[in-house]
A and B are shown apart, each in its own frame.
Chain A
Amino acid sequence: MPLLDVRNLSVDFKTSNGQFRAVDRVDVQVDVGDVLAIVGESGSGKSVSMLAVMGLLPWTASITADSMRFDGLDLATAEPRQRRAIIGKDVAMIFQEPMSSLNPCFTVGFQLREALKAHLPLSRRERQRRAVELLEQVGLPEPERRLNAFPHQLSGGMCQRVMIAMAIACKPKLLIADEPTTALDVTIQAQILELLLELQKNTGMALVLITHDMGVVAETARRVSVQYAGQKVEEQEVQALFANPHHPYTSALLAALPERATTRRLPSIPGVVPGQFDRPAGCLFSPRCAFADDRCRQVNPAMAAAELGHARCHYPLIQGIPQREVS
């Protein structure tokens, strides 16, 4: 049984212009000790789907799912008290902007001790000791001194380390990291990713890494789920995804990477991601897809078999060639 098992999750927002579907029938399964990357362009519903799991969406969101279970507990029907006991303890989340996730008015040490207090029965002294230990674990030099620092006195990379320390304070079974390095420079990004993978390996926690960076995906994930316009369009093991993408969107994204370019002009994807008012009928990617035909423009594709990466496509690709007969 997966640690996190989300099936058919949809999230709709009430907006002044009517309903807007941000997440559209997404499945997410994460096993114990797994490393899953969720990749997609901005607005593809990566954050919203995980915020739904955490119960952190505003009231304007309406969430539906066939199943939303974590470690055996049904998150959809659980009592608020049961949820609170798990969220932040067994499943924790960190975000892109470490500076704004920390409260600027309190010291790092205070915030870290509060996080411990909420979930663990420790004495004051034990909390202080554990706080120092945590900062050591995330590689902050001079941890005792840092505990007295305010967030603005630390760099972005250090703040992200503090956020990670808070997230792992209660030894979570699952850590969701939402673009944890997007705001950081690449040498700092490398340090933070290395830290996350090391913690994952040493503690056995599962890691969901949300990112838009294919390089980060390639270097960190075991499994990859690709999102487009709120839908999961493909999921594969990392090696297979890069070698043989089955959804035309994944394939086109990989081809558009400058580092994969063979010519001065990059193969690019025409047009833009559909918005609230121009969601096409049929396949959401069809207006931009090189292989789309009338069927794609009219009929919403189901998910293909696991061998084809569950590609949400009528004609999944094999080595770049659409399989017209198969489906």
Chain B
Amino acid sequence: MSQAVDDTLIEAHGLSRHYDVSNGFFGGQATVKALSNTSFRLQAGRTLAVVGESGCGKSTLARVVTMIEKPTAGTLTLDGHHLSSEVILSDAQQAALRASVQIVFQDPFGSLNPRQTIGRILEEPVLINRPDVSAAQREQQARAMLEMVGLRPEHYDRYPHMFSGGQRQRIAVARALMLEPRILVLDEPVSALDLSIQSQILNLLVDLQERLNLAYLFISHDLSVVRHMADDVMVMYLGRVVEKGAAAAVFGSPRHPYTQALLSATPVADPGRKQTRIRLQGELPSPLNPPVGCAFHPRCWKAEERCRQTAPELDDTEVHPVACFFPL
């Protein structure tokens, strides 16, 4: 097994995840290209944010990266292990990989089993993946983890319903960390939380990253949260990456018209600011029937004939690549 030398924990090449679905009343088959040809790299201690509107493929990417689903094309190297649609891993390899990449979901209410105590919830991944660890050791790990995420030892015996939304999200983070992963995939981790609680959880994530040198794949539709958290940003539209780069570059000088429109649509908490908003016409097209050419062209104010015919590619050799014929 090759070990990455430069702390690269995720290396994705041309990842795709397409779904075959039956189409409407006529029983026809159609393909939803939930994720297409996505490449990126993520290193230890860094945060790569994935942004875009609902349905653009963020959660699909999360499921593929956490091996909940296999990619339909492309390759993925996770913590030195190669994966693709063809590779079949042994159970031991799978277990090792599962341990190194963990996921936290948006909904702190749905993601915890209401019948299990917090202690049991935290210990379960260890019980399944590390059967050799003794019960006493497991409990000790779980109690230490509670403290690490800012909960109290007496919470060990309580049930999820006794906790607030923010505390449940702490529990979800604690559970994800029990196997000492190196990568956390955070799928809208603060979207369901109120502002005063959101800042507590963001601070927790910052702390944990510093202490444990974790790599974060941080999924969010909230650009102000992303701007605060991300080192690098990937902007997606209808299953494809349209722009990618350092957060400062993407936010400071967006190159794709969609990125610019997204930034300009995000309300800013400054009533004095005078701004001219880019008005995007229309809504997201159906993923079952995406536009020919550039998927963004029907809503794009810069679109020309070429955009209506050919889909622009993203050149991954560039520092701040963009999939657009007429970048800004």
Contacts and interface: CB of A to CB of B under 8 A. Distances in A.
Interface of A: 41-42, 141, 155, 157-158, 185-191, 193-194, 212-219, 221, 238-239, 242-243, 252-254, 256-261, 264-270, 272-273, 288
27 contacts: A186-B265, A188-B283, A190-B267, A190-B277, A191-B279, A191-B280, A194-B277, A213-B267, A215-B267, A216-B267, A218-B269, A218-B273, A219-B267, A242-B272, A254-B269, A256-B195, A258-B198, A258-B202, A258-B224, A258-B225, A259-B227, A261-B228, A266-B199, A268-B200, A270-B200, A272-B197, A273-B194
Nearest to A240: B271
A219 B280 contact: no
Interface of B: 53-54, 164, 166-167, 194-200, 202-203, 206-207, 221, 223-225, 227-229, 261-262, 264-273, 277, 279-280, 282-284
Nearest to A257: B269
Contacts of A268: 196, 199-200, 203
Contacts, number: 120
A40 to B, nearest CB: 9
Contacts of B207: 265
Nearest to A270: B200
A214 B228 contact: no
Given A41-B196, A258-B227, A266-B203, A187 B271 contact: no
Q: Which secondary structure dominates where chain A touches chain B?
A: helix
A204 B198 CA distance: 37
Contacts of A141: 282
A253 B166 CA distance: 16
B150 to A, nearest CB: 10
Contact of A253 (B54, B195, B224, B266): B195
A217 B277 contact: no
B199 A256 contact: yes
User: What are the 4 closest A-B residue pairs judged by CB atoms, nearest first?
Assistant: A215-B267, A258-B228, A268-B199, A41-B194
A217 B262 contact: no
Contacts of B277: 190, 194
A221 B228 CA distance: 25
A258 B199 contact: yes
